[in-house]
Structure formats: structure tokens, C-alpha cells
Structure 1
Amino acid sequence: MPSSLTLEFAGTIRADRSGPIDTLADADGLTRWAREHAAALGTGPGFTASEDLWRQTVRLRQAVRALLAEAVAPEPPSRADAAGLPGFAPSLALVNATALAAPTAPQLSWDGTPVLVTVPALETDESVRLRARLATAAVEFLAGPDLALLRTCQAPRCVLYFVKEHPRQEWCSTACGNRARAARHYQEHKK
């Protein structure tokens, strides 16, 4: 879950034929996205993002994207916002501080079979837990085994990061692979 939550969070900036799309363009966008990811974020069904939470979450997303850009170096970062990303050191500090804001603890749930669950160690509000969960997922991803497989999709117009799942994978999706092959074919036959 950490890698998919982190990549989905970073992927709230993406592109389509009409250009860049920011899923978190406003507080309503964050509300919709958080409700779609409620199980991973620990938010309730009535979660509503405030303007302040939205601004803080977008700032966290940019910090996570800066760390992903550093992680894929010397390969190029995502073209979506590479020029506007914050610096590495402030990004690392923000992600770490945000993860500490709502510490969690492992607990045992036992309904016939023991199951490990992670719960907030301290009573915090939902907005702090949401940002802490996103930051914790990024920390777990960036310190985990999938980091070595992190790539930037180089297909035309794509701005996503992805985890390479097999040795020959070059793009984040089949659609991006088709777009890249079509662009290459066009360039080869344009002459």
C-alpha cells in the first residue's frame, strides 16, 4: 500500500490530451480524492477539506514529488512541475516533520484471527492524520525496496512516476507505451 498511495498522491498531477490536470486544484478536489482513498488515509465518509488543509496537503505533495525527482536522478524528473519543485532539504524536512505529526502504533485486532492494524498513537484531528498518513507512506516507499524500481514515464505528455514491474517495462501504462511507439514511428517516417 505505501507505494501505491505515494504514487497515487504524486499522480494527482497528471496530463491528458488537453494538458496538465491537478486533481487537488482546490479544497473540493482534495475532499473528493481523500474520500476515494478513505481506507488508506483513515478519513471518515463525511471528510471535508478546509482551505488550510488543502494548502498544506498541496505543499506536502510538492515535497513528495521533489523527493521522487531526487530518487530517479540522474534520470529526468517528471516534466509536470520539475522547474517549480521545492529544494531537496526543505522537502525532506517537511515530509519527516509531517510524518511525526500524528504518530501511529501497531495494534492487534482479534476477531477469530489475529490481525495487525495501525492506529493513531495520539488523539489528533482528521486533517493531521491525513497528512501524516501521506507523509508516512512516502517515507515507507522511499526507504523501501520499490525505490530501486521507481521510474519517470517518458511517454509524450505523460508526467507520472511508476514502479517498474518487469525488466522490459519502459512506461507507466500500455496507453503510454502505445503513445511513445506512435510518436517514435511518426518521427522515423516524417523525413
Structure 2
Amino acid sequence: MPWIGESRALDLANTVIVGANRGEDLDFFADPSLTARWRQRVTDGRLARMPLDQLVELRSVVQEALDAADRSEPWSPQLRSRINSLAANAPLVLEMDESGTLRQVGREGPVEAEVARETLQLTAAPDSFTVRRCPAPSCGMFFVPRRRNQGWCTVRCGSRARSTRRHHRGRHAEG
């Protein structure tokens, strides 16, 4: 689980590995041992202690928002309303530091509200790259690219995708 720790929203959304099990998705929350491993490694203990049904529900909202961002599609009114209402419980306030610089500070709220706020920040921040879904075989993880042309979540996924492409090109050339 090398992806854990970048963002609670990504920690939650990336609990499904697309096509990992003979083409079937691997859902960490459908397997008690994987759920337990995720709960041990996730950095926010409040998120780790959430009941499974609430985790699954929150994950579906976060994944829907991140999927829309990856496809550059607008959110449905229902999704926008759901995330906005969740995020309303994790306020941002303005503070001035000793040098007179004004900054926004996130105040702690319920963990689902904070995850919703992070989802809003990941998907709507104009000064960052857009959230993407890794297209590598057996991955599908969401990630925030560190450079504009980054196509995969990790170097390992990039290598696997290129290797798979070469393998498929070779098979088609032989046929």
C-alpha cells in the first residue's frame, strides 16, 4: 500500500484495485484481512475506526467525484450537494500570523467532513494538476500527477503498462 498517506480522500478511494484479480476488481473492504491491513496503515485513526458501512458509503462518494475529475466531467447535482453538505462540517477559517500574512486554516470536524473537504480541494484546485486514474493493467489507482505529462501513478505501473503494450504488439505482429 505505497499510496497511503498522500491524502485521506485518496487513501479511501484507492481501496479498489481495478482488474487485479484475473480481471476482477480487488475491493479491500470486501476482504476482512485487507480491510484490517488498510485500517492499520491508514494515517488517520479516526478514518481507520469508521464502521465499514460508512467507509464504503463515503468511498463511493469520493470515487464518484474523483472519477468525474479524471474524465473532466462536471459533478451531478446530487454529488455536489452530498459533498458540499459533508464538507460544511469541516470549516475553513482565516487566520493572520505574526507577520501579518492571512491564510486559510482547516478546522477539525468529523472525519467524513474532512475527507469531503479534501475531495473538493483535490478536484477543484485551479493551481494543481487534475486528479487522474492510473491506466496501468491491474491498477486503476487515483493519483495527483507531479508533472503535467505523468501518465501513471508510479514508475512501476508505467513499466508494467509499457511491457504489456509491447507484449500485445508482438502478439499481433506474429498473427
TM-score w.r.t. structure 1 length?
0.65
2:166 aligned counterpart, secondary structure: helix
Return 131-140 or 6-15, whichever deviates more.
6-15
How far is 1:3 from its partner? Answer: 6.7
Specify the code of the residue in structure 1 equivalent to 2:68: E
CA distance in 2, matches of 1:168, 1:150: 13
Cα contact 1:67–1:88 (8 A) shared by 2: no
Output the aligned Cα RMSD. 3.8
Q: Which residue of 2 aligns with 1:21?
A: 26
Gaps of at least 5 residues in structure 2 are 99-103
TM-score w.r.t. structure 2 length?
0.69
Cα contact 2:132–2:144 (8 A) shared by 1: yes
Percent identity over the alignment is 26
2:112 to 96, 106, 131: 131
Specify the code of the residue in structure 2 equivalent to 1:187: H
CA distance in 2, matches of 1:24, 1:107: 39
How far is 1:172 from its partner? Answer: 0.9
Specify the code of the residue in structure 2 equivalent to 1:9: L
CA distance in 2, matches of 1:26, 1:185: 33
**What whole-Å deviation, never above 9, does each CA across 1:136-160 have from its counterpart, x for those lacking one?**
1111222213664322211112211
Q: Which residue of 2 aligns with 1:97?
A: 85
CA distance in 1, matches of 2:13, 2:142: 8
Cα contact 2:61–2:79 (8 A) shared by 1: yes
Cα 1:166–1:22 change in 2 (3 A) is: same
Q: Which residue of 2 aligns with 1:9?
A: 12
Return 14-23 or 138-147, whichever deviates more.
14-23
Q: Which residue of 2 aligns with 1:67?
A: 65
Q: Which residue of 2 aligns with 1:56?
A: 54
Q: Which residue of 2 aligns with 1:80?
A: none
Instruction: Report how many residues are paired.
Output: 160
Gaps of at least 5 residues in structure 1 are 76-86, 111-115
**What whole-Å deviation, never above 9, does each CA across 1:68-120 have from its counterpart, x for those lacking one?**
12112269xxxxxxxxxxx833222211111123546467899xxxxx86434
**What whole-Å deviation, never above 9, does each CA across 1:1-60 have from its counterpart, x for those lacking one?**
x9733222211212474353323337993895387322xx7x39xx7333xxx3233222
